[in-house]
Structure 1
Amino acid sequence: MLTTNDIAKVYDTILSIPGMNETVKIDLRISRKNVLLLNSVIERGLKVKDDDKSSNLLNSVPQETLQELKALAGDCLQKAGLIELNEKLTSLGS
């Protein structure tokens, strides 16, 4: 059985493969519903990192990479015209 530390090392190794920092262009066409869900999943994943620093694999990911991921989620919301709706849904969930 692999421990959390072993899995983190494997994940870190994969992220350090040459070319992983290269920018790629992705033509992505998804429904607005899936944009909202994607944003929610990203936010939840980043929140877990902040809440549970001991067991999360994202601890090995640099903060700037996580900020880029958060910006991507926000950009998807903006392009889909869902920023205001997402803010209202978030306030309902609080």
Structure 2
Amino acid sequence: MLTTNDVAKVYDTILSIPGMNDTVKIDLRISRKNVLLLTHVIERGLALKDDEKSEGLLSSVPEESLEELKTIADQYLEKSGLIELSEKLNGLGKGK
């Protein structure tokens, strides 16, 4: 079984493969429901505490890549017209 450090090294190696920084065009057609769910999953993953990020892929991802993911999530919400709804839902969730 791989240790956490070994897993981080594997992920770091995969992210360092030539061409991994190349831009790709993806024509993604998904429902608004799935846009909300996807952006929530991205935001939840980015909001993990440092000790929770120490395991898996997020431990070896540069900060600028994480910011790019946040930007992508925001763009999906904007294109689907769900920014205001998402903000209101997030506000409800913070009341817990």
CA distance in 2, matches of 1:35, 1:65: 20
- Residue identity in the other structure for 1:76: Y
CA distance in 1, matches of 2:24, 2:88: 32
CA distance in 1, matches of 2:55, 2:11: 12
Normalization by structure 2: what TM-score? 0.91
Q: Which has the higher contact order (CA 8 A, sep 6+)?
A: 2
Percent of paired sites with the same residue: 72
Query: How far has the Cα of 1:60 moved from its partner?
Result: 1.2
Deviations 1:52-85 (A, max 9, x none): 3363331211100000000000000000000000
| Long gaps (5+) in structure 2 | none
After superposition, the CA RMSD in angstroms is 1.1
| Long gaps (5+) in structure 1 | none
Normalization by structure 1: what TM-score? 0.93
Corresponding residue SS for 1:53? helix
Flag as ranges the 4+ runs of structure 1 deviating above 4 A.
Answer: none
